[in-house]
Structure 1
Amino acid sequence: MKLSLAIVALALSAPALSFAQDSIAVHSGTIYPNTFSSGSANISPFTNTARRFNDWAISFGAGVPLVQSADLTSIKNGNGKNLFGYSAYVSIDKAITHAFGINLQYDRGETRQGWFNTKKSAPADASVNQKVGARTQYDAISLFGDINFSNLFRRVDNHSPYRWALHGYAGLGTLAFRAYQKDEMGSSMVSEVKPFNLKSMFAEAGAGLKFKVNSRIDVESRLMYVITGSDEFDGGGDKYSTINQIEEQVSDNFFNVTLGLSLKLGKHESHLMWHDPLQEMYYKLDVLGNKNQDIEVCKKGDLDNDGVCDDWDRQLDTPAGARVDGAGVALDTDLDGIIDLYDKCVTVPGPVENQGCPVVTSVPVKDGLVDESETKLEGIEFNLNSDKILPSNTPILNNAVNYINSSNGTYTVIGTTDTRASEAYNQKLSERRAKNVKDYLIKNGVQSDKLNAVGRGEKDLKYPECNPATKCPEWKNRANRRVYFEAK
């Protein structure tokens, strides 16, 4: 039976050992997965060559099992003495992350319990007083999880060397055993459980404290608690025997204290279970903190002293005092080709010859009316049934501001309409149009005593043929909806 369990354990561990050599050099290939599906543009396939840590180990050790909860125990079972057995284990350990792993373990041992050591002679009245001795030989295969609490709860500000680690273990397995009982008449086997059946299932849990000797070897002390699930493990006989009626529990359980070594496999320097991500982060921060990072701003300087480095200055000869945009180009607000520094009329376009201001010419007057065909002082048009000045007309009105200010005369701002709607309505609409234009001119610098505003409604048509009895094209109706200037 012992030989068969050992063969099964070796067979289960062989596939794991075949993959024990790992590596990680970061993948340097040029073929990446689809970034739209993976969510990252800087990833590479995870293969056996894409690892940085060893994640396999072989552990072995020996210890002392002590039956604690049973009818016959190892711990001071009425005689004031403890009976020590022996145990040994070997396991294949796989680290899944820096805080969790899985271990496949084979255990073999013998517990000793009862009123005396079975290697010694039994008292003469052992069977009469139920003061028998017992021993149990067992073999077990178990699979359990390994939690690295030191990595899981490691403090963020802990910069100390990482040499100790507290681990927690829990798992299930199959337990085969033979229990022997001894009294004054001799020793005999009273119970036997074969492996890999329902009666052989058991559970165990415990903790271990590891010390890293070097990058290859760990020393570990473990305390495991084994729940056998059987009332016959302690050697008390079948469950209805007299000895098995001493205590009410139906599971004989024992502690197993062991001391062992772990040999880490693989070609890398560090094992995953000893990897501290926070320590690696601190190391990188220290490297960045100590790195001399001299950032040279304006490597080529700022020759024109406009506040924009020559590295990205699109105009390297900006005149002193000129305002510039982010690319170092001098501003030209009215887009007339003259930068604001030299433009006397920054918001109104004008020719270079007149320093960026509109040219004011003498205005011929015919019967007191400004001739619009021969002057820059143009009239403006309005939308149907509206007295609002259109944004497209502001350059014309700005030109009128400069013209009126440069003249000595006074002007009447005249508002008109087309012939649609009633005469009374058109009169009021024309008055509002004239007043809005007058207010705009005054707001932009024309003296109020130079202007007067009147409305002429539909009585002053630019195209008189457009009357209610005729149908005019829209461009003529629009021309009739105007404001113009009349010199006094």
Structure 2
Amino acid sequence: MKLSLAIVALAMAVPTASFAQDSTAVSNGQYPNTFTSGSANVSPFTNQSKRFNDWSISIGAGVPLVQGADLTSIKNGNGKNVFGYSAYVSIDKAITHAFGLKLQYDRGETRQGWFNTKDPVPTNVSPYEQVAARTQYDAISILGDINFSNLLRRVDNHSPYRWALHGYAGVGTLAYRAYQKDINGQRLATEVKPFKFGSMFGQAGAGLKFKVNRRLDIEGRVMYVVTGDDEFDGGGANYSAINQREEQTSDNFINATLGISLKLGKHESHLMWHDPLQEIYYKLDVLANKNQDIEVCKKGDADNDGVCDDWDRQLDTPAGARVDGAGVALDTDLDGVIDLYDKCVTVPGPVENNGCPTTAANNGPVVETETKLEGIEFDLNSDRILPSNTPILNNAVSYINSSNGSYNVIGATDTRASQAYNQKLSERRANNVKDYLIKNGVESSKLNAIGRGKKDLKYPECDPATKCPEWKNRANRRVYFEAK
């Protein structure tokens, strides 16, 4: 059969919601929703369901330049002793693809005056120029980070990008020690300690980032730091002779830095580089560039059950039998008799009695005649119970509650990955199913969760050296029930 590109595009576009998350929580667990075809079992949004990273660490170094001071600065000084040094480190958290927060620590030294305080005072200049200062500072601040490249990105811009413009602004606490040197020697002119009144400061600026790879970004940044202090430059007290050289001067400075950001996490992309629509744009472009129609069901449907042989797990389904999505005939009560031949579709019973119980329903609990109940399958590397398994598990609840016996809930995996990893994965699968059954009314004393890893294969021929079809691997990834 043939499928048009328009139908495929529509089918692919539906899941692209909530910034390309794997799971979209649209139900509180009580009511059905349109994303799960009527199931209320919707996976909540968790950190594990994301497809991008959102944490990073940034470090950098640069040159702080005092803008205006009583001594030399970039405003007055003609370049005399104005170049200091600085460094920063920050922990960065992306909240959305266009906004994040930074917890940043800065350390540096600004320089002011007509000579370096480490050098002797020059004697061949006027007394006015025989003064110099330096200020050592430490700062802790919280910065907001706006990604303008993602915020202003046009919806019809389908191309990936490696450059991004960021804007920063925030407040924090500033501690510094300002030293002044003249012909009388060097002294501590001003000291401000952190987290004290008057130590608050603000800074704002912009940065240009380049994406080197999935792990590393390079950024050039220019920040304007507002100290709100007229003694930061080492000019001394407010009414001292040095501090009166420039009237009403706040010793703010500009900090130009070059740094790197290390993006943390296991995913391929970081949220600040992640455009939620790019994935669907790419997939639609690939489909649009194909010249031929997409053909499915190449092998046909031998048993006419409506499931293509490409993924039909039961190629000889009896005529008239209802099947699931994998082409397997339905057995609603899990008694080993398919619904087509089962005289008691909703009540389990032995094969010899056409699927009906041998004991009347009103004469006490059902007598065990089967030692195993078929269970459910799982996605690769996952222990999440799929919504499609809910009817099977609910039937298991009814069957076990009507039984006198107790059951082992047995988890298994396929042959991929190590034995130790698969053992833990199978235990998580078994415990998740056990918890579901208990939550829905089964007595905990009737259940025992067991993990068998890849030692319990439904299809033993699928050893690590054999490439099995995916439906066999999926059948090996299961949890089933076994009477004790």
Normalising to structure 2: TM-score of the pair? 0.52
Q: Secondary structure of the residue that 1:129 maps to in structure 2?
A: helix
Quote the Cα distance in structure 1 between the aligned partners of 2:214 and 2:280: 20
Taking a change above 3 Å as real, the CA distance of residues 290 and 80 of structure 1, as seen in their structure-2 partners, is closer
What is the identity, as a one-letter code, of the residue corresponding to 1:242?
A: A
Per-residue CA deviation, residues 428-451 of structure 1 (Å, 9 max, x unaligned), is: xxxxxxxxxxxxxxxxxxxxxxxx
How far 1:143 sits from its partner (Å)?
Answer: 0.3
Say if 2:73 is the partner of 1:77. no
Match of 1:476 in 2: none
Cα offset, 1:294, TM superposition? 6.3
- Take 1:260 and 1:205, find their aligned partners in 2: how far apart are those partners? 17
Q: Deviations over 1:233-261 (max 9, x none)?
A: 00000112122122233521000011111
Q: What is residue 66 of structure 1 aligned with on the other side?
A: 65
What residue in structure 1 maps to residue 169 of structure 2? 170
| 1:206-355 equivalences in 2 (<5 Å) | 206-290=205-289, 292-293=293-294
| AA at the equivalent of 2:111 | R
Offset, 1:161: 3.4
CA-CA distance at 1:276 after TM superposition: 1.7
TM-score (norm 1): 0.52
Contact residue 61 and residue 257 of structure 2 kept, 8 A: yes
Closer, same or farther in 2 for the Cα pair 1:125/1:246, shift >3 Å? farther
Number of equivalent positions = 274
Larger Rg: 1
Question: Do the aligned partners of 1:25 and 1:49 also contact (CA within 8 Å) in 2?
Answer: no
**Contact 2:81 2:113 (C-alpha < 8 Å) held by counterparts:** no
- Counterpart Cα distance in 1 of 2:104 and 2:179: 25
SS at match of 1:282: helix
Cα drift, residue 71 of structure 1: 1.7
Classify the secondary structure of the residue corresponding to 1:220: strand
Among 10, 27, 33, the residue aligned to 2:28 = 33
CA separation of 1:28 and 1:107: change in aligned 2, threshold 3 A: closer
Q: Report SS of the residue matched to 2:269.
A: coil
What are the equivalent positions in structure 2 for 1:39-438 lying under 5 Å apart?
44-75=43-74, 77-124=76-123, 128-129=127-128, 131-290=130-289, 292-293=293-294
Provide the rounded CA distance (Å) in 2 between the counterparts of 1:40 and 1:174: 48
Go from structure 1 to structure 2 and tell me whether the alpha carbon gap of 1:194 and 1:288 turns closer, same or farther (over 3 Å shift): same
Offset at residue 129 of structure 1 (A): 2.2
Q: How far has the Cα of 1:32 moved from its partner?
A: 5.5
Classify the secondary structure of the residue corresponding to 1:113: strand
**Matching residue of 2:9:** none
| Corresponding residue SS for 1:277 | coil
Q: Which amino acid counterpart does residue 120 of structure 1 have in structure 2?
A: D
Unaligned runs of 5+ in 2: 1-19, 301-484
Residue of structure 1 in register with 2:480 after alignment: none
The alpha-carbon distance between structure 1 residues 195 and 80, as it changes in their structure 2 partners (threshold 3 A), is: closer
Measure, in 1, the Cα distance between the counterparts of 2:150 and 2:101.
16
3-state SS in 2 of match to 1:33 = coil
Contact 2:99 2:146 in 1 (8 A): yes
1:106 partner amino acid: Y
Moved more, 246-255 or 95-104: 246-255
How far, CA to CA, are the matches of 1:114 and 1:168 in structure 2? 32
Q: Is the 8 A contact 2:145 2:168 kept in 1?
A: yes
Structure 1 residue 82 displacement after superposition = 5.0
Secondary structure of the equivalent of 2:283? Answer: helix
Equivalent residue of 2:284, what SS?
Answer: helix
SS in 2 for 1:49: helix
Q: Distance in 2 between matches of 1:201 and 1:195?
A: 8
Structure 1 unaligned segments of length 5 or more: list them.
1-23, 300-488
C-alpha displacement of 1:75? 2.0
8 Å Cα contact 2:68/2:249 also seen in 1:
no
- CA 1:254/1:278 → structure 2, altered by over 3 Å: closer, same or farther? same
Contact 1:223 1:258 in 2 (8 A): yes
Specify the code of the residue in structure 2 equivalent to 1:193: V
Which structure exhibits the higher relative contact order, with contacts defined as CA atoms closer than 8 Å and separated by 6 or more residues?
2
2:266 match: secondary structure: coil
Letter in 2 for 1:26: D
Identity %: 71
CA contact (8 A) 2:58 2:92 kept: yes
Letter of the aligned partner of 1:173 in structure 2?
G
Checking the alignment, whether the CA contact within 8 Å between 1:77 and 1:114 is kept in structure 2 is no
Distance 1:185 1:82, change over 3 A: closer
Question: Does the CA-based 8 Å contact 1:229-1:250 persist in structure 2?
Answer: no
Which amino acid is 2:195 matched to? F
Q: Distance in 2 between matches of 1:295 and 1:262?
A: 45
1:406-436 Cα distance to aligned partner (Å, 9 max, x none) = xxxxxxxxxxxxxxxxxxxxxxxxxxxxxxx
Is the 2:149–2:166 Cα contact (8 Å) retained in structure 1? yes
Separation in structure 1 between the aligned mates of residue 111 and residue 196 of structure 2, nearest angstrom:
25
Q: Distance in 1 between matches of 2:57 and 2:204?
A: 20
- The CA distance in 1 between the partners of 2:45 and 2:24, in whole Å, is 12
User: In structure 2, do the counterparts of structure 1 residues 197 and 126 end up closer, same or farther at CA, with 3 Å as the change threshold?
Assistant: farther
Question: Residue 92 of structure 1: CA displacement?
Answer: 0.1
Q: Secondary structure at the match of 1:218?
A: strand
Check 1:200–1:60 CA distance in 2 against 1; reply closer, same or farther (3 A cut).
same
